[in-house]
Structure 1
């Protein structure tokens, strides 16, 4: 394994640790695959989408009944995320590569800025009611489309939006975890039908993310996760600038 390959897998493991500890970081996977490992961007997005199916399922371990209840309670959000993700995955076949790179770069920058903001405001006031039917449909379509187009799982978009809208934090966190499943299922199925999905690469990424998520979850429970959050924010900002300026 070359130094560049080792760096790529280290970044992917960091993404998994960040997901486990803070629910952010997934946007690092596609840049690591495409820029460090040389995987073509559509294939990198497809493999990343498959990997997030595994980490999404892991995020719900220990709270399966709560996840099922949330699926029923916010069915419009989840169903429209499914539809949006299918459309976003289909767009990767013909969307200009520079436009996709720009979107991923912007998403990484926004995620890094959000992570820094949470370091200083870990418990923002949440005093607005949960979105109604129209709001859930708009959120689901937008988050599904944007997540699939960037090869991310959903929390990196949904959680900051809900927090900026000052929605109830506990429900926002559960929604961000649950929404990974419809997005990953629709994205993976669309990529597989189009012949873009490298199953072996996706499974390897899933293992790396899963190990990182397990370590990140333990860190969040037993120690102060702020250093990991700060490091992830710095890497996200650097990745975003790299994708936008390179």
Structure 2
């Protein structure tokens, strides 16, 4: 199967997951880039950030039009992650490839566990008040993960916005896209060394089908049970994490 077709298929799957679940699809982008498309772990995390940025900005625009983005609180949360994202992005290029793969596998496993055991959901109409200390800590941690591992972190941002800032789910999903976009751009700004050799002939179609797939995923999420989708995705993610961990240790 040609590289172009693989990129189109992988992008569609990532987009479907993002659109249907509101996060988590980007966790599949890195292993797809490494094992299907031949990227190094460092190159895959950089390419993933490009894909995540483009897809998140597109989705952010759509969510903003429906009024599901809380700009003030989201900006405060995102601001705390800018410096950690930039520093982690610069450090990622200097880490051993096996260490990056193992760290990503651990994060993927964590994401799967969180999807199998969903956290509390805030009620509609929850307060928009910003809790500075907790928001700063959560925002900084998410920024560091985004910069280091090339994931958007929607599967972590959404629960954090629900539990730390007491957002209802629709607002948490919409605002998380602002946080993800900001952190991804900050990390990309420090990854000059890992962008030079990227294969744009692969990244461009991957990104395009991810954006289109996100729209189809949104419709799929309205037709199929959310908990069922999460369980299936989590099991796939656990299998991917196990494979990557074994690969890093051998």
| TM bracket (short chain) | 0.7 to 0.9
1:10 Cα deviation from its structure 2 partner = 3.7
Residue aligning to 2:155? 156
Instruction: Evaluate the alpha carbon distance shift between residue 61 and residue 81 of structure 1 in structure 2; reply closer, same or farther with a 3 A threshold.
Output: same
Alpha-carbon displacement from aligned partner over 1:49-107 (angstroms, at most 9, x marks no partner): 0111111112223332646x623233321112222221121111111222211211111
* TM-score (norm. length: structure 2): 0.82
Contact 1:148/1:187 (CA < 8 Å) preserved in 2?
Answer: yes
Partners of 1:92 and 1:138 lie apart in 2 by 21
Alpha-carbon displacement from aligned partner over 1:108-157 (angstroms, at most 9, x marks no partner): 11111222224xx7xx3538976611212211211011122111112132
Residue aligning to 2:222? 221
- 3-state secondary structure, aligned to 2:151: coil
Contact 1:5/1:36 (CA < 8 Å) preserved in 2?
Answer: no
Partners of 2:156 and 2:228 lie apart in 1 by 22
2:185 pairs with 1:185: yes
- 3-state secondary structure, aligned to 2:61: coil
Partners of 2:49 and 2:213 lie apart in 1 by 17
Instruction: Evaluate the alpha carbon distance shift between residue 233 and residue 44 of structure 1 in structure 2; reply closer, same or farther with a 3 A threshold.
Output: same
Contact 2:89/2:147 (CA < 8 Å) preserved in 1?
Answer: yes
Tell me, which stretches of 5 or more residues in structure 2 are unaligned?
none
Tell me, which stretches of 5 or more residues in structure 1 are unaligned?
none
**CA RMSD, aligned part only?**
2.8
Instruction: Evaluate the alpha carbon distance shift between residue 218 and residue 140 of structure 1 in structure 2; reply closer, same or farther with a 3 A threshold.
Output: same
Number of equivalenced pairs:
239
Partners of 2:205 and 2:15 lie apart in 1 by 13
Residue aligning to 1:73? 73
- 3-state secondary structure, aligned to 1:60: helix
